[in-house]
Structure 1
């Protein structure tokens, strides 16, 4: 169990990776290498879940961790949700498990979602519309959202541009249009009891994201994927005012380390009295830890 009194922050956005050599030779290594170059990440292969847990333990930070199921659209085999959940359970002092299911999997995905919540204690689900090739408000995805909402879990969506495929020919097939946060306005209307997190400063649709988060009580923004020193001015203003209870620290580990993010966050113009909620309190309440 996470002891809120012992941790200094909760990172709402970290990625689970398999041990080197365990995934199929399907181009995934090339994708990861290009992303590492894009983010200037200091590793040759992404760290495993146990390595991630140890890093966060040393940093005294808890982390939400998840894989991304985009095998249908990309051809990259997914990391099994069950294995990620089991590894998170072995490191429950610092890791909080989310799962990922491509909504194209239909009824099979719905059954898996309910099983992951009931049998493995999954707290939420990660969606990456650009990698999974769907608009978030596509009714095809609604049966999966219904299961998530009924079970009281969280839905976290990538929004905005992505480092995935950046610089590769054709962006490695990634279509940015799917990740405009305005499509989540429909989802928030149709599932008002489902807690929704829009991941990342949503370049080039930052104002759309702020509008949705301000207008819909069940929508939050995580601040992962960017160093805070690059946050647009309007995002900082909203963090300091009307969205102060709805913005969440996230790093996008392993592309950005939590200590780098937190160090840069210290240097931007956030009100001192709001910093504890942004880096820990808001996430603790959303996750039901407080």
Structure 2
């Protein structure tokens, strides 16, 4: 079994994102990671994606809603629920929220996660029309609710998560994790390029899970991620492709060929994300 921790399918509102509006741009991004473009991306086909998931052995993908500035585009939580209903059992939805509209964000957490089918909340505050740092105190009431309700947070903190690199500096993640020690934080983009720094933060803060997703593939620093996953982070390291940037079959093959210890692979591929998202999976998998 494999659960992809960050997968954006070519369906509904995702088709309006820059990822699928400009597939030539996405292809160039894939080449940066030494990867070809998946046929499902080029053809903007969810049916092809499902076949690629099956060929790669990916049972489910975690699909996040998005609130971002106009070029990137957004995906509503209604669309995330609809995608789950369109393809039962294949996708796990995460509610995307806009922390600049706090009351709306709190209401959507209640509607779509606490009282709905989605399994977590996702935020990319540095990508909003008016960028925010993830530790902006205006976001703290949202973190307080997530901690109180036991709802996991997927926080994009790394990669291009803001107008400059300061938005992904791991000291920000460290502060949030310290201020909300009972909130599960899944750090997508794995704090890149601050690899050793974010790994030390995860060493300090047991409520942080690390998902480097596309930055694990043929990018400098991958060896440090592997070292951590083989050791202290083996229960909090997650597999993800950031599809459509990393094609699924090539991504899974590449991941399995990396020097992970055989005994930790099941944790990395599905057990850890099941724990982080509180999924009810059979124990004999």
TM-score, normalization by structure 2: 0.83
- Alignment correspondent of 2:179: 190
What pairs with 1:77-156 in structure 2 (closer than 5 Å)? Answer: 77-132=73-128, 133-156=131-154
SS at match of 1:225: helix
- Alignment correspondent of 1:15: 8
Q: Does the 8 A contact of 1:113 with 1:144 survive in 2?
A: no
Give the Cα–Cα distance (whole angstroms) in 2 for the partners of residues 29 and 174 of structure 1. Answer: 22
Which shifted more, 214-223 or 118-127? 118-127
Which sections of structure 1, spanning at least 5 residues, go unmatched? 1-7, 165-172
- Post-superposition CA distance 1:83-130 (Å, at most 9, x none): 211221342322111111121111121111211113432111222233
Give the Cα–Cα distance (whole angstroms) in 2 for the partners of residues 55 and 120 of structure 1. Answer: 29
Q: Does the 8 A contact of 1:15 with 1:65 survive in 2?
A: yes
Give the Cα–Cα distance (whole angstroms) in 1 for the partners of residues 44 and 120 of structure 2. Answer: 22
1:67 aligns with 2:65: yes
- Post-superposition CA distance 1:246-272 (Å, at most 9, x none): 101111011112321211122221111
Give the Cα–Cα distance (whole angstroms) in 1 for the partners of residues 163 and 30 of structure 2. Answer: 17
Q: Does the 8 A contact of 1:157 with 1:196 survive in 2?
A: yes
Cα distance, 1:223 vs structure 2:
2.9
Which shifted more, 228-237 or 95-104? 228-237
1:160 aligns with 2:161: no
Aligned residues: 270
1:244 aligns with 2:234: yes
Cα distance, 1:182 vs structure 2:
2.2
What pairs with 1:251-270 in structure 2 (closer than 5 Å)? Answer: 251-270=241-260
C-alpha distance 266-29 of structure 1, shift in aligned 2 (>3 A): closer
